[in-house]
Structure 1
Amino acid sequence: MNTPPHTAQANGITQAYRVRGPQDAEPLVLLHARGADGADWAGSAPALAAGPRRVYAPDLRGHGRSDWPGGYAYETMRDDIRAFLGALGIQRTVVVGHSLGGAVA
């Protein structure tokens, strides 16, 4: 998951994300801790994608290559992820979060 991130327009910002696994596999969204980004999951993502899962690791707002229009409210980040899922056409998924990502999840 150290490949250059993809981007999606969601909740009024550009959100960067990494993706791994078969296109038609069930999605799994991994949310990183404060001060990190989606690349933080690079060690775990290959095994999770082999499940098989389609693993998405977005950069939360203000982290990595995602926009930061100001503010880090959990509710805003939650709305970012909801919009991110909508932009990618993901209707149902498992969400796993670490630290800040856990609060957002």
Structure 2
Amino acid sequence: MICRVNSINLYYEMSGVGKPLILLHGNGETHKIFDKAIPILSEHFTVYAIDSRGHGQSDSVLEYHYDDMAEDIKCFIHELKLEQPILYGFSDGGIIGLILASKYPQLLSRLIISGANTVPDGIRTGWLRLFQCINAVVKEPKMTMMLKEPNITTEMLKCIVIPTTVLAGSRDMVKRSHTEYIADSIPNSKLNILQGEGHGSYVLHNTKLVNLILDATK
């Protein structure tokens, strides 16, 4: 399905019945990373799996910014008249969720993020240098965004008033101290570090994500 928002066409797939649940993927991915989780989640929620701008079947633009992506989702919620949906965001999807919940405190009912960072330096040094080296060669706009953004402040995190679950793997590419900082800065948040998991090992094409979302929404 296509939804016209914020001057672009945003592709999404909808399935299931119940309270609306938005799923947002990471940089360079599509909604298809949730292919194993969606059939089960659809038994509990109306699931909206979205391709972010420049990904999958959604429109591309010349330059990417997380704030624009957050506005896309705000417009999507208004266009489809979704009433305080739950939002789960992985990696870049989590960044979008943080921005959205801080700018529009009553738009969502609950936020679940995993492997998100608030500044580029929240990524482990080795990973950050690797991305910098790759982008020096390929000059990919979405990777350029990731190396320059986000710039989410502590004050912005403190504006998030809805119940929030902060997830990360113990072997995540985001620094553990940074994940702990995010959870500590959001007033009504819970932190869950998943032992033995990497950045997306429990998310990409994996049913482990299902119980994490169900536990966070009880």
Same fold (TM over 0.5): yes
What amino acid does structure 2 have at the position aligned with 1:44? A
* Cα distance in 1, alignment partners of residues 86 and 39 from structure 2: 16
More helix by share: 2
Shift of 1:91: 2.8
Aligned to 2:55, the other structure's residue is in SS state coil
* Cα distance in 2, alignment partners of residues 67 and 47 from structure 1: 28
Equivalence for 2:37: 44
* Cα distance in 1, alignment partners of residues 49 and 60 from structure 2: 17
* Cα distance in 1, alignment partners of residues 65 and 24 from structure 2: 15
Equivalence for 1:87: 79
Structure 1 residues 60-102: Cα deviation after superposition (integer angstroms, max 9, x where no partner): 0000000012222110000000011111111311100111111
What amino acid does structure 2 have at the position aligned with 1:15? L
Counterparts of 1:54-93 in structure 2, within 5 Å, are 54-93=46-85
RMSD: 0.9
Shift of 1:48: 1.0
* Structure 2 residue 13 is the aligned partner of structure 1 residue 29: no
Aligned residues: 97
What amino acid does structure 2 have at the position aligned with 1:19? M
The partner residue of 1:11 within 3, 6, 9 is 6
8 Å CA contact 1:18–1:39 kept in 2: the answer is no
* Cα distance in 1, alignment partners of residues 43 and 60 from structure 2: 32
Aligned to 1:16, the other structure's residue is in SS state strand
* Cα distance in 2, alignment partners of residues 72 and 44 from structure 1: 28
Shift of 1:18: 1.0
Aligned residues with identical type, % of pairs? 34
8 Å CA contact 1:28–1:95 kept in 2: the answer is yes
Q: TM-score, normalised on structure 1?
A: 0.88
* Cα distance in 1, alignment partners of residues 94 and 63 from structure 2: 18
Larger radius of gyration: 2
Moved over 4 A (4+): none
Aligned to 1:62, the other structure's residue is in SS state coil
Aligned to 1:27, the other structure's residue is in SS state strand
Q: TM-score, normalised on structure 2?
A: 0.43
